[in-house]
Amino acid sequence: MSIKCFLKVAIFAFTFQLQSVSAGERLNYTLTISTQQDKAVQVEIILSFSGEKDGQTVINLPNSWGGEEHLWTGISDLSITGNGVRVELSEDPFQRVVRHQSGARLTLSYRVIQDWPGVPMATGRNSYRPVIQPEYVHLIGDTIFAIPENFNESTVSIKIKTPETWVFASDLEAEGLNVDALRSSVMVAGDFRIESRPVDNAVLRVALRGDWDFTDAHFADMVQRVVQANHTYWGDPGEDFLVTVLPLEADPGSQSMGGTSRTDAFAFFATANLDENTAIQILTHEHAHTWNPRRLGGGYDEDEEAAGYWFSEGFTDFLTQRIGVSAGLWTATDSLSRWNEVLSEYALSPENTASNSKIRDGFWDNRDLNRLPYIRGMLFAAHAEYRIRSGSEGRINLNDVMKAMRRNNNEIDAAPGSFVDQTLATTGIDLKTDYEQFILKGEVLRLAETAFGPCGSVITSDQPVFDYGMTGHRNKEGKFVVDTVDMNSPAAPAGFKPGMVILERLEGAVGDATVDSVLRVEFEDTVKDLRYLPTNGDMVTMQQIVLSENITNDACNKFLSGRSASNGED
């Protein structure tokens, strides 16, 4: 048996080890946030529990999570006391071996420190590590709690103390905590503001700090619609949910957002200028992780986790589009343009034929391998949807498989490995060969022309590869400044030169090399318009959905929502 907690870019999975400790054992934590006279903020954690009967208890400090390593460097002043306690270092720097009298009461105390400089920035992944600032803290359970080995079945109690004037919010305020909930928790405290919204019979809380381009109420309303949409899709009753929002500092003109999904919370990070449409799609994706993979059999464990991202991330992206259109969070046309972006990204990915084991091994170190399971999995879901619909004359679709996996959550193995069997059992459609071909081997997946039913046709064509033909950077106003021009690119004869500032685009689109781009540029106090075909001359085979003329009709909406047969009728 295993438990899983999920985050945007990684699954942390932990295998239960039922050894000498009974499930009735209890871990008692006290977490105290205090402000010191020099205004420094101190976070102290005390853990008390009964050590193992054999007189040896191993303590695991936070180590590796979400792409962050050496998390134990955020633990300081660790002390362990109790009857006959002798502490030994282990080979692993995140472990302590404690020898003590049989079953002795042990007390651990330590401080959590921010082990990186500055404030949370849009660049880098530091906001996953403890954030401890003079005005606030942002703490993720996986990165701050020491947990004794073999105590994963224990119940957990936690007392939290904060400075009187500080606002506090955490999913640790829930009842009946266990070790999994402790790890996959988030807490914020300080100058946060809290908005509450009802979702069915439960409460959604949104905790924000800092200044945003929108009001707190507007953002909370948006999150409420997302949470409601997911609950409606899965048919599950409402449950308490917390969204924490941490502002990121960034260079002007750049925008960034991301986050990590907790069991009953989502920690969101973004620059203040976040684009609302992108934000709502990310939030829908993240909240969908409450189900995928956790409630669909879970993800793969530890070293294998990235091998399951085609399902846990890619299918989540598919469901995000489905649920978004279904709940009216965005339109069918918006969704189809998102699908076209993904089809284009797939065609242009230099790794689009990587095997699944290459993704598993290179996920954290290679940007293209990092993106691939999202794209490939999303397209494989559309392919599976097509196979199921066409094989059943439109009577059933992928929703039936997802709902079956939801129902069978406790009986099935990890979701990525169960999907093919669950599809066969639920629909009679055998995707084994497709799975081996497109997921495991990484052969190029081409969608059927009718894979998007009444919405439009999937057209396959050879396209010129989009290439700016120049490099550059953003200036303080957020404008693109040309640094170098490729002399073999059409950009050179068109007149682009280093030092030019691009003021605006008049024609063409980013990513489209089939039509001219016309850019208005400023150089040495002169403004002029330059026209060129932004391509490097290479061709690539790409699929795009060409929208039907009657795209606004009900049929496409219903199709994308998964509510209708492939002929567009209920």
Q: Given the rule CB under 5 A, which residues bind Zn ion?
A: 8, 313
Given the complex with Zn ion, which of 114 and 261 has the nearer CB atom? 261
Give the amino acid at 68: E
Burial category of 5 from C-beta neighbours within 10 Å (exposed 0-12, middle 13-18, buried 19 and up): buried
Measured CA distances, 401 to 196, 373, 388, 426 (Å): 34, 20, 10, 6
CB of 225 vs Zn ion, minimal distance in Å = 19
Beta partners for residue 472, in sequence order: 482
DSSP bridge pairs for 505 = 519
Distance separating alpha carbons of residues 356 and 443, to the nearest angstrom? 10
Nearer to Zn ion, 195 or 313 (CB): 313
Compare residues 370 and 426 and give the one whose CB is closer to Zn ion: 370
Q: Are 283 and 204 in contact (CB under 8 A)?
A: no
DSSP state of 570: -
Contacts 24+ apart (CB under 8 A), 2-5: 2/298, 2/301, 2/414, 3/152, 3/180, 3/298, 4/293, 4/294, 4/298, 4/299, 5/142, 5/180, 5/183, 5/184, 5/262, 5/263, 5/294
Q: In the complex, what is the shortest distance from the CB of residue 299 to Zn ion, in angstroms, rounded to a whole number?
A: 11
Asked if 242 contacts 303 with a C-beta cutoff of 8 angstroms, the reply is no
Cβ-based nearer residue to Zn ion, 82 or 258: 258
State the nearest-atom distance from the C-beta of 246 to Zn ion, in Å: 18
Nearer to Zn ion, 171 or 313 (CB): 313
Nearer to Zn ion, 192 or 233 (CB): 233
Q: How far is the CB of 272 from Zn ion (least distance, A)?
A: 23
Smallest gap from residue 13 Cβ to Zn ion (A): 15
> Residue 154 or 281: which CB sits closer to Zn ion?
281
Minimum CB distance to Zn ion smaller for 180 or for 313: 313
* Smallest separation (angstroms) from Zn ion to the CB of 539: 33
Three-state DSSP at 355 gives coil
Q: Looking at beta carbons, which residue is closest to Zn ion? A: 8
Pairing of strands 95-99, 265-271: unpaired
Longest dimension (CA), the chain: 83
Surface-to-core class of residue 251, CB atoms within 10 Å of its CB (0-12 exposed, 13-18 middle, 19+ buried) = middle
Rounded to the nearest whole angstrom, what is the least distance from the CB of residue 363 to Zn ion in the complex? Answer: 13
Shortest Å, Cβ 566 to Zn ion: 28
Beta strands 2-6 and 11-15 are antiparallel
Q: Please, what is the minimum distance in Å from the beta carbon of residue 416 to Zn ion?
A: 13
- Residue 525 near residue 509 (C-beta atoms within 8 A): no
Distance CA 371, CA 352 (A): 10
Nearer to Zn ion, 34 or 277 (CB): 277
